[in-house]
């Protein structure tokens, strides 16, 4: 599948150039990052590392798994919240403008394998605490 071409074709132009692209994942499982090699050699694309130290360094999460970080996307900022448990590198992304929490595999309506139950529990508590003072949009679920 031509993932990189499809994504790049969808990117808007600014000053006759495609906007730069950041490829970031909620965690390093292969089903989330299998298309990364298609982006690796493209000059206008940056891929967030998949190892824990790389994730921590890229987002500036110096007190992992506590705290959160801000990801500046130009016209908006997204919060990055460490949510290890399913995978040690797992993060969730929160967009205050829309009130959406993009949780990846951290919260999903289905069976979830948890690698570290204690870390998962602590992540759930951190996310609850994070959302207490922020608007949350109950994104409509799709029927499965």
Domains in the chain: how many in total?
1
Q: CATH code at 16?
A: 3.60.15.10
Q: Is residue 40 part of a domain?
A: yes
Pairing assessment for the beta strands 69-72 and 17-18 based on DSSP bridges: unpaired
pLDDT in tens, the chain (144 residues): 899 999 999 988 888 888 899 999 999 999 999 999 999 999 889 999 999 999 999 999 999 999 999 999 988 899 999 999 999 999 999 999 989 999 999 988 888 899 999 999 999 999 999 999 998 876 555 554
Q: Is residue 143 part of a domain?
A: no
Specify if 55 maps to a domain.
yes
pTM of the entire structure?
Answer: 0.89
In a domain, 118, yes or no: yes
Residue 49 lies in a domain: yes
């Amino acid at each position: 599948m031509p993932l990189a071409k499809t994504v790049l074709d969808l990117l808007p132009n600014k000053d006759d150039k495609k906007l730069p692209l950041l490829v970031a994942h909620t965690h390093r499982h292969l089903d989330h990052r299998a298309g990364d090699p298609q982006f690796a050699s493209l000059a206008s694309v940056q891929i967030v590392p998949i190892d824990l130290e790389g994730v921590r360094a890229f987002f500036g999460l110096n007190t992992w798994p506590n705290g959160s970080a801000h990801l500046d996307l130009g016209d908006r900022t997204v919060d990055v919240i460490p949510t290890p448990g399913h995978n040690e590198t797992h993060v969730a992304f929160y967009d205050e403008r829309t009130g959406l929490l993009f949780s990846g595999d951290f919260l999903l309506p289905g069976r979830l394998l948890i690698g570290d139950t204690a870390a998962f529990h602590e992540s759930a508590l951190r996310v609850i605490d994070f959302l207490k003072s922020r608007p949350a949009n109950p994104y409509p679920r799709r029927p499965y």
